[in-house]
């Protein structure tokens, strides 16, 4: 299946393919300039969230203006609590500052876009508390990120109040989760992989809610007692088994979250090149083909496919 290409159109009508890495680099510079070095890692999440949003547009052609791209990035930065980074990004975009009225209807409309609560009563309670807090503080309008930060505070507060100690219940209806919370709901086979250093799961955050797996090939090879040189016929059946385990892990996380739509999956294999050199002993030009075949085997069982595959 042909890969979709997103085009960004400049003011003169010229089009260039959208490059999330270019956007990520620019965002990193904005975070650093704003003195937020510790948060600069979020530039990747924002760039991928923008790419995912554009890819899933209903437009017949995936062509977007520079202003649309800038507006989407600025809105995401402001709504996720980084107004200073948004201001730096805005300086070259010409976009206007975004402010949302504090009346209950406006606040509810904003929060409904980002909280994705499956429990309507739970959402109404959060929205009501945010509006009430704004009224007490004398706020008539504010940046969206303020309302969202208040909403996240009440979401966590009410979720903790509503469950005792069940790790699955703690995740129900949420769009963010820590590594520890996600690990707690994994099936035994996947949990064993995390303890062996083969599988790692990143936290899920509101910037770009996705399930991100890191699969380490070299520890996997050692656990499987592989010895160099190996062949594709020897290792691919093992990777197909691992693919089933990863899909079971994905399904367990999805079932715990109970969101209305499945989350995209991002699979990273950071040591693939080292593994191929160490276990296959092939030249550089042949390693790319082997890496693609092994990655395909590891992705095979995912029910909804892979949104992003990162192989290094």
Q: Which range has the worst mean pLDDT, 102-106, 154-158, 243-247, 286-290?
A: 154-158
Model confidence band, residue 114 (pLDDT cutoffs 50, 70, 90): low
Residues 6+ apart with CB under 8 A from 199: 190, 193, 213, 214, 215, 216, 246, 249
**Residue 22: pLDDT over 90:** yes
Average pLDDT, the chain: 85
Measured from the Cβ of residue 113, the count of other Cβ atoms closer than 10 Å reads 10
Q: Give φ, ψ of 161 to 5 degrees.
A: -65, -30
Smallest Cα–Cα separation from 158: which of 106, 123, 184, 132? 123
Model confidence band, residue 170 (pLDDT cutoffs 50, 70, 90): low
- The tens digit of pLDDT for each residue in 85-97 reads 988 898 866 555 5
Smallest Cα–Cα separation from 210: which of 254, 263, 257, 171? 263
């Amino acid at each position: 299946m042909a890969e979709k290409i997103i085009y960004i159109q400049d003011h003169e009508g010229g089009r260039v393919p959208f490059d999330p890495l270019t956007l990520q680099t620019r965002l990193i510079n904005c975070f650093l300039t704003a003195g937020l070095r510790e948060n600069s890692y979020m530039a990747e999440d924002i760039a991928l969230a923008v790419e995912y949003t554009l890819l899933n547009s209903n437009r017949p052609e995936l062509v977007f203006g520079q202003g649309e791209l800038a507006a989407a990035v600025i809105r995401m930065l402001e709504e996720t609590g980084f107004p200073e980074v948004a201001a730096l990004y805005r300086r070259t975009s010409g976009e206007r500052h975004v402010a949302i009225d504090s009346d209950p209807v406006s606040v509810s409309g904003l929060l409904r876009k980002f909280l994705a609560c499956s429990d309507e009563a739970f959402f109404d309670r959060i929205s009501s508390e945010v509006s009430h807090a704004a009224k007490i503080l004398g706020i008539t309008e504010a940046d969206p990120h303020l309302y969202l930060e208040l909403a996240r505070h009440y979401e966590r507060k009410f979720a903790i109040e509503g469950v005792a100690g069940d790790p699955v219940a703690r995740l129900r209806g949420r769009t963010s989760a820590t590594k520890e919370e996600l690990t707690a709901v994994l099936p035994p086979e996947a949990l064993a992989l995390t303890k062996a250093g083969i599988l790692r799961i990143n936290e899920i955050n509101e910037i770009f809610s996705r399930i991100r797996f890191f699969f380490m090939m070299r520890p996997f090879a050692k656990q499987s007692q592989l010895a160099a040189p190996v062949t594709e016929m020897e290792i691919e059946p093992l990777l197909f088994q691992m693919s089933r385990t990863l899909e079971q892990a994905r399904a367990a996380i999805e079932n715990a979250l109970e969101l209305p739509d499945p989350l995209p999956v991002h699979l990273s294999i950071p040591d693939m090149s080292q593994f191929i050199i160490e276990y296959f002993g092939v030249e550089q030009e042949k390693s790319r083909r082997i890496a693609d075949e092994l990655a395909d085997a590891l992705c095979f069982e995912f029910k909804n496919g892979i949104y992003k595959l990162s192989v290094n």
